[in-house]
Amino acid sequence: MPKKKSNPAATRRERVGKVTVEESTVQATKYTPMRKRWRTWCRRKSVAKEDQIREHESWDQAVAFASKLNEAILTGKVKPTDEPTLIKLREIHEKIKTSNLLGKRSLNSRLYANALEENTLETIVEVGLTTLSVVDEVNTERKRVGLSTYSLDWFMNDFKDNARRDVRKHSLPTYEKSIERFVAMKTGPNGGRGNKELEPPSKKEWRQVMGVISGWIGASSVGDYDGLEKRIQNMINLKQGLNGAASEGTKFRYAEKTKEFGAWLVDEDYWEKNHFRRLPKLFAYSKTSAAATFRPEQVEKLFQIALTKEKYIKLIPYISFLFFAGPRPTELANVNDPSVRFKWKRMDEWKIESDVTGGVLYDQPVRDENGVRISKGARDRQPDLTGNGLAWMQWWADRYNGGKLPTTGEMFFSKKPWNDLRKEAGLYKSWVKDIARHSYTSYAHWNRNWKVVEDYWLRSCGHSAATYKDHYEKKKALEDCEAYFNILPPKTK
């Protein structure tokens, strides 16, 4: 009978001659339940490495193995090799010599992990035994979790496939290079939906967002995607805006664009599936919040300050349209492209009167006469420059355009004085995307003094029905609506 030997670190431990048999408890993890483990130990040099520490499927199996190993240690004898065995060894030796002559080499695991050596009998035996031991160890783990066990062929093919996949992973381009190609496609002539060209602000946003993402992951190969979605999720959560943490909308846009980049990687055959597909769901938010707007007195202060300096007075046409016609800012001026400005010929000589506001209507096409996209809208429309907006234009024309409303040339805009004006009026930090357009649409929609059909402002501003419902349902007081459209230039109040 084997002698028992107590050990507080093990549930059970016994000696079988020169070999120790141990039973222990492996604590549960997130993925595996608590289980028992049976192992045999023998550190003698005469024992093969793979037999010095071995795991078994039961206590009885471990004891049986320990008995055999102990007997082998005690006898220490090698039986004479019979003639058939010698013949087989000679055949193996001839195969080894042939493989060496053909230049086939193997890794000598005992000497240098990365050194290519000629095959030797010792190397082949060592590699073979090590391989079989690894297969046995892996199969023990697979059985434990209910998976089928490897055959040697299956194991080696799996190993080969994984090794080749690792080589391919490191031969792929980096995310930085892939993002450069992706952005070039998105900002090209066919980067939008329906293979249409995106407008300049959308192109700018793509460059900006993907540039940030490239900074997060650009150095890695596109074959390295494990844990990447989580990394980007964490970076988006840490994203900062002008006034602290980035808004929910900003985070969602980053997630959406990352997902689209992932879809492009699939289309380019870099990935088999989109590893970023879940990101937008992780940053989903309610889009039905009321649109941000300025109070009438805030807008009036902006116009009053605009009257105080020559550099601001030049901007009167721009801010008159911006606050009293509801355009998208890019329809008036692209802040990053001086060649994109509102053309006065679109006013149709100021002849189309508005029966609703007392102002004038003008043309806002989606594309200009050269086919260049100048509006994000889905269709051409006629915005309504309200009566007080027209009054501001006339005030400016009387003093700076010989009393005539402009019909040729283009609208003036300059980024620096525009930023200075907003800062002086105290609106720069609270200025969010399209806030002037939202202010106009909200006060116009709830101004009960103007009798219009239900979809008048939707068509005039170029909103979709869903957007209009989501953002402009919050009612404005009639007093505020009247105050907003009574912001007038000097001597006309």
Q: Where are the domains of the chain?
A: 3-75, 84-169, 175-282, 296-484
Whether the per-residue pLDDT at 342 is higher than 80: the answer is yes
Q: Which of 36-50, 189-203, 350-364, 462-476 has the highest mean pLDDT?
A: 350-364
Question: Could you count the other beta carbons within 10 Å of the beta carbon of residue 185?
Answer: 14
Q: What is the pLDDT of residues 55-87, one digit of tens each?
A: 999 999 999 999 988 888 888 743 344 556 566
Distance CA 65, CA 21 (A): 9
Q: What is the mean pLDDT of the chain?
A: 85
Pick the CATH number of 296-484 from 1.10.443, 2.60.120, 1.10.20, 1.10.1740: 1.10.443
Structure pTM? 0.54
Structure tokens at 302: 């902006």
* Bridge partners for 118 per DSSP: 105
With tokens 């040729």, the residue in question is 408
Confidence grade of residue 169 (pLDDT, cut at 50, 70, 90):
low
Mean pLDDT of 159-171: 74
Average the pLDDT over 182-207 and give the result.
Answer: 89
What's the pLDDT score for residue 31? 76
Tell me how crowded residue 248 is: count the other CB atoms within 10 A of its CB: 14
Cα separation, 146 vs 143, whole angstroms: 5
Whether the CB-CB separation of 425 and 317 falls below 8 Å is answered with no
Task: Tell me the three state secondary structure of residue 113.
Answer: coil
Half-sphere exposure of 389 (CA within 13 A, CB side): 26
Beta strands 3-4; 12-16: pairing state: antiparallel
Measured distance CA(107)–CA(114) in Å, rounded? 7
Residue 369's pLDDT band (boundaries 50, 70, 90)?
confident
- Who contacts 156 (Cβ-Cβ below 8 Å, separation ≥6)? 131
How many alpha carbons fall within 13 Å on the CB side of residue 188? 9
Task: Please work out, in degrees rounded to the nearest 5, the angle formed at the alpha carbon of residue 453 by the alpha carbons of 450 and 457.
Answer: 75
Cα angle 409, 413, 416; round to 5: 155
What DSSP designation does 384 have?
A: E
Q: Where do runs of H (alpha helix) occur along 103-151?
A: 121-144
- pLDDT single digits (tens) 270-301: 898 999 999 999 998 766 567 889 999 999 99
Cα gap 465→347, rounded to integer Å: 26
- CB 346, CB 449: distance < 8 Å: no
Q: What is the DSSP string of 448-464?
A: TTS---TTHHHHHHT--
**Contacts of residue 110, Cβ cutoff 8 Å, sequence gap at least 6:** 123, 126
Instruction: Identify the H or E element spanning 118.
Output: strand 116-118
Distance in angstroms (rounded) separating the CA atoms of residues 452 and 356: 7
- The three state secondary structure string of 232-271 is HHHHHHCCEECCEECCHHHHHHHHHHHHHHHHHHHHCCCC
Question: Which amino acid, one-letter code, is at 418?
Answer: W
